[in-house]
Chain A
């Protein structure tokens, strides 16, 4: 991966590190604004985030490190952080200074990681964030005194209110030009001595000098990531030497690993003594009151269910008008481009391939934004951790812990960040099971499929004055369907593939706060951009491939002739068409009910049929075009291939077009919407009243004239997509996170089998229910 780095010779690199929930990303955004770039460190899925700013003529590149409680590299995240700080990460290079961000209201614990950072000897800036929270709690800190004791500049700051940000910038710039600091050195000489011995032994075996910091960490971290990584050259000998060193230290009362916490917290207390005063009496906070309700055994669960229901209801309710608007826009663009270009393959590629395909998926952008908005809000206000707490009981039933909940919940947005978030689960078995079931959570890419099917095939019934709609309920059910299936699957995996005890569960519950609009919108923007990028690249490519396969090798001259005739007829009947559109719009105001005795409705219906009579030549032309197009599609590569696979998908109630669509959507689920858009646009199933893909699906028929789509077929498609593993990126992430292709293949096979069986059951069961 290449990084675009502004080409300034004097640019300095500064790493940002701190505990989780200290407002690290808020500070990062406040410092760098929009000038940031997110990627991955090569070979691992640890997020690499760079940002840039310029202050007092100095340009700074900030590297955001994952939130961590300590620098002992026990997980991949922590390993990357240590490598960056030691200058061992080639993508980042040498680090000139470190910004340590701490929660001023919980300084004692936060100083733990600070002491580890100071051990590195790099110029450091300590940012006391959440200064306001500390003041509210009556905590008093003397930053100047603290700074002189630590030997580093200390800057109080309120990142979420953007206060003192310039002070932080100045301190960073000054730190970049400061000499290295002297580490506090909390450990006895005997420990350093063992470190030097071990360093020499490593040199013997691997011919490379390990940094002193890493060797010392190796002694301190029993069973950590370093032990497996660094002892690779000669595992047996090196591990024996390591154990001997620890034994010798034990003899001098230096007990690894417990000694580290003891020494560091002792130091932390010593530093804070006389620098910080905490009020004797604990004040009641908003968090106390909220938690009494939100973590309550009964009320908490009720609020949780209600919150989820409202989220999904409001997505369907709020996004509807926006989506209508987008669809209208898509249609307008299609018509405009279509009218400008002469008939031929190029026009077809643009209108039927690109606009119908990519546009078909882009109309879902409002929903995607709303979904991410809600998830970002829940995360930022601190509720997500409470949800994990509430879910722990449920998760232990299937052998997992509440820790698996947050990755699974984020998988509702997208399985990729979800699977990456499993890195916070230390237990390997739990982590594996969570990774394997994460793709079952209904990600935002499935949502368009549900929205399309539900809007097209379920009647719009509403209750309680329009607040509860059938569409909303169906979306809610489909969204949680995958999660419901995941329960027995997780239980099964835990009983067979990953047998073992449920590990204990510790998780920080951050204080509640009002979500910062900037942070929330930033996250929504990031996700929306990623979605549009995917539509612009992967989905565009698939759309073009699908278009070519369904356009060639047939001869399209006759179709073009008919299309030209239609265009001419449309201009002849322009006034009639206008009138009809106006009437239809008026008719729509009366709802979908039958005309009956209602005078105005009957009048409009009469006028419409009168107009239809006059428009008959045009209708005939459309019919001819549809027949030709259908033949052409059936003769195309795609059509021939579709016919071959039709027997496989027929038990699910699908025609060959759906079958092809599903196959084509292997790289990404949402492609199905684009593919169906292209197929039905080319297939000519779109008549002059078409309101886009929805009505195209409603009017699709089998060769014998029966409609292809019905509620059972819609159900079968939705269930298939709820359970299938149609997402190449997810499989790639599974491969990277498990370090094995086998697990990616396993996930694909088990989910596809589940999807096929599930879709068949859904089709048969819904058909049976509808008949009853």
Chain B
């Protein structure tokens, strides 16, 4: 993890219009599984459409509204 710290950051820190690739989802197992089932899983490209709380994300043209808090962290790679 530490070797790629410069390129990964929590998803909620993306600016509107930016995108990244999900590298890790951490948090309560139930919640993580739910997110994965809904399409937010490692390796997927996610766009930040609108920042804020809740924000709007987009994966493969599918939009989601999501409010982040301490119970789950999504790390994205923005180097690509």
- List chain A positions with a Cβ less than 8 A from chain B: 69-70, 72, 74, 105-106, 108-109, 112-113, 137, 221-224, 257-258, 260-262, 265, 278, 282, 285, 287, 291, 295, 297, 385, 388-389, 392-393, 396, 401-402, 426, 501-511
Contacts and interface: CB of A to CB of B under 8 A. Distances in A.
Nearest to B32: A258
B77 to A, nearest CB: 17
Instruction: In the A-B complex, list the 8 residue pairs whose CB atoms are closest, starting with the nearest.
Output: A261-B36, A109-B39, A509-B63, A389-B65, A69-B37, A70-B37, A505-B67, A506-B66
Interface in B46-80: 49-50, 52-54, 56, 59-69, 71-72
Given A106-B62, A257-B29, A506 B38 contact: yes
A133 to B, nearest CB: 9
Contacts of A504: 31, 66-69, 71-72
B69 A223 contact: no
A72 B67 contact: no
A294 to B, nearest CB: 11
A389 B43 CA distance: 26
Given A265-B43, A392-B67, A508 B38 contact: yes
B42 to A, nearest CB: 7
Nearest to A504: B69
A509 B65 contact: yes
B60 A509 contact: no
Contacts of A396: 67
Contacts of A505: 54, 65-67
Contacts of A74: 30, 34
Interface of B: 29-44, 49-50, 52-54, 56, 59-69, 71-72
Contacts of B52: 297
Given A72-B33, A109-B38, A389 B62 contact: no
Contacts of B34: 69, 74, 426, 506
B29 A223 contact: yes
Contacts of B71: 501, 503-504
Nearest to A392: B54
B64 A506 contact: yes
Contacts of B32: 257-258
Contacts of B49: 291
The binding surface of chain B is classed by DSSP as mixed
B60 A222 contact: no
6 contacts: A222-B33, A261-B37, A262-B41, A393-B54, A506-B66, A509-B56
Contacts of A258: 29, 32-33, 36
A402 B40 CA distance: 19
Please indicate which of the listed interface residues B49, B50, B59, B60 has the most CB atoms of chain A within 10 Å of its own CB: B60
Nearest to A296: B50
A32 to B, nearest CB: 28
Given A261-B41, A291-B56, A285 B61 contact: yes
Contacts of A503: 69, 71
Contacts of B66: 504-507
Contacts of B62: 106, 109, 508
A222 B29 contact: yes
Contact of B38 (A69, A223, A224, A282): A69
A510 to B, nearest CB: 8
A265 B66 CA distance: 21
Contacts of A426: 30, 34
A260 B71 CA distance: 21
A265 B63 CA distance: 19
A510 B64 CA distance: 8
Contact of B67 (A106, A297, A401): A401
B23 to A, nearest CB: 13
A508 B37 CA distance: 12
